[in-house]
Amino acid sequence: MAKVKTTFFCQNCGSQYAKWQGQCNACKEWNTIVEELIQKPEKSDWKSPTSPVKKASIPLRINEIDTSKEPRLNTFDAEFNRVLGGGIVPGSLTLLGGEPGIGKSTLLLQISLKLPYKTLYVSGEESQKQIKMRAERINPENSNCYILTETKTQNIFKQIEALEPDIVIIDSIQTLHSDYIESSSGSISQIKECTTELIKFAKETATPVLLIGHITKDGNIAGPKILEHMVDTVLQFEGDRNHVFRILRAHKNRFGSTNELGIYEMQGSGLREVSNPSEILISKKDEELSGNAIAATLEGMRPLMIEVQALVSTAVYGTPQRSATGFNAKRLNMLLAVLEKRAGFRLGAKDVFLNITGGITVDDPAIDLAVVASILSSNEDVALQKDFCFAAEVGLSGEIRPVQRVEQRILEAEKLGFSTIFVSKYNKISLKNTVIKIQLISKIEDLVGFVV
């Protein structure tokens, strides 16, 4: 093989070294020195037969640029299409990240089984038999889906040249390795090199590539940050592994908005698309229980009704406990302080537990009012009317603040049969003839009157 030039760079300060060492002399950081490729051999890896040698591009007037032929590949999965902004763009690179066991492989295998195009699913993690067994659980009938177990990019490109697939899926980028780099799979330089090769292939042949990426323990995609810069779209598959719901969102999207959200339910036979999420997130119960309140939140562009549960009880051991699942604990403390100061509730000596049902995490500030209502309801042990719902932010002085797109939330609440929605007086609402009662409030004290 032709000679390849590599050298070692500190990933922290950029100092260059001739060989690897544990600590960087310049910045004194440990384990930051990584081998990087500086010169490849003449022959490139991916050379499509049709691509002319290095065609230089010329500047075009912006209104002369043709955007008409940008057809997107329909994935036949409504949630996935929505998150991507209407389907897969030819020649694009999409990175799907998520915790181990969340269902990344299941999602992409399921999509490749549904596609009517020729798909190549490359796995470096599981054997062909294992994948076949998984495919049988999902949808056994598909003759267009090819499975390859391989980790060397040069071999993958050889197979791609022979097969000419319409779409390529790589599970996962961390298992790939390129011959040009010595370091082991999953190292920064390997990931960078393999991604560069895949980008070159995707752009030259207009074949979309979907990559699966592992994440580190703090939730970032493993490998260099540059990986996220290199690809066109970064999707994150999240959810609580102990719950059945999974949420797919776009963190970066060069071809659409990052506001959209896809919801799936993990079943015995793969992931089911959830087209009406509000209905499943609200537990249907007959009796009214104290401490439950429904929030009309917005996840991206989609309205989502979410149930908030609070439990307030007298602290048995010295320091009261505050714990929140699916909600920011600092924000919970702030709301408790507001309740104490502005509405006179003595919560300082009480344990407060808060839970968002369904295992999802909400950061929409419009959930504040429902959190406050559920705490009040539990504290007084009085159930809220079960057809009440809430959508407003609570400020530090106890004022009820307006939230964005309130009309969309109101309409969703009405559609689901709620009788009353509590919103801020300062929201501009131009809806007419609504069946649902829109209760405008401006201070936290106003809420107390309705709730307890």
Annotation: binding site for ATP:
98-105
Q: Which residue has the tokens 């502005």?
A: 342
230 contact choice in Mg ion, ligand TYD, none (CB below 5 to 8 Å, kind-dependent): none
Annotated binding-site members: 98-105
Q: 249 and 80 in contact (C-beta within 8 Å)?
A: no
Smaller CB distance to ligand TYD: residue 82 or 104?
104
By C-beta, is 103 or 262 nearer to ligand TYD?
103
Is omega for the bond preceding 172 within 30 degrees of 0, making it cis? yes
Q: Is 137 in the site for ligand TYD (CB under 6 A)?
A: yes
Q: Which stretch binds Mg ion (CB under 5 A): 73-81, 97-105, 344-352, 381-389?
A: 97-105
Of 376, 330, 323, 333, the closest CA to residue 354 belongs to 323
Residue 286: which residues within 8 A CB-CB, separation 6 or more? none
Q: Does 270 contact ligand TYD by CB under 6 A?
A: yes
The option from Mg ion, ligand TYD, none interacting with 102 (CB < 5 to 8 A, set by class) reads ligand TYD
Q: Among 52, 71, 101, 318, which residue interacts with ligand TYD (rule: CB under 6 A)?
A: 101
According to the binding rule CB under 6 A, does residue 269 interact with ligand TYD?
yes
Distance CA 297, CA 364 (A): 6
Position with the least CB separation from Mg ion: 105
The region of 34-42, 191-199, 267-275, 415-423 touching ligand TYD under the rule CB under 6 A is 267-275
Q: Which helix (DSSP H) or strand (DSSP E) does residue 112 occupy?
A: helix 104-114
Please tell me whether residue 282 binds ligand TYD under the rule CB under 6 A: no
* Pair 209, 194: CB distance under 8 Å: no
Single out the residue of 105, 178, 185, 278 in contact with Mg ion (rule: CB under 5 A). Answer: 105
Closest distance of CB 298 from Mg ion, Å: 31
Query: Which range binds ligand TYD by CB under 6 A, 79-87, 104-112, 162-170, 173-181?
Result: 104-112
Q: Return the closest-CA partner of residue 360 out of 218, 263, 441, 250.
A: 263
- DSSP labels, 185-222: TTSHHHHHHHHHHHHHHHHHHT--EEEEEEB-TTSSBS
Two tokens, residue 124: 């470096």
- For position 100 contacting ligand TYD by CB under 6 A, the verdict is yes
When binding is defined by CB under 6 A, the residue of 131, 147, 168, 266 that contacts ligand TYD is 266
Residue 218 one-letter amino acid: D
- Segment 142 to 201, residues that bind ligand TYD, using CB under 6 A: none
Per DSSP, helices labelled H in 295-443 are 329-343, 368-380, 406-415
Show the tokens assigned to 138.
């999902």
Among 134, 252, 322, 443, interactor with ligand TYD by CB under 6 A: 134
Residue 290 near which of ligand TYD, Mg ion, none (CB within 5-8 Å, type-dependent): none
Least distance CB 240 / ligand TYD (angstroms): 13
Tokens of 35: 């081998």
Confirm if 151 and 123 have CB atoms less than 8 A apart.
no
Closest to 424 (Cα-Cα) out of 399, 445, 407: 399
Does residue number 98 form part of the binding site for ligand TYD (CB under 6 A)?
Answer: yes
Q: Are 393 and 365 in contact (CB under 8 A)?
A: yes
123 binds Mg ion (CB under 5 A): no
Residues forming the site for Mg ion (CB under 5 A) = 105
User: Contact positions toward ligand TYD, by CB under 6 A?
Assistant: 98, 100-106, 134, 137-138, 266, 268-270
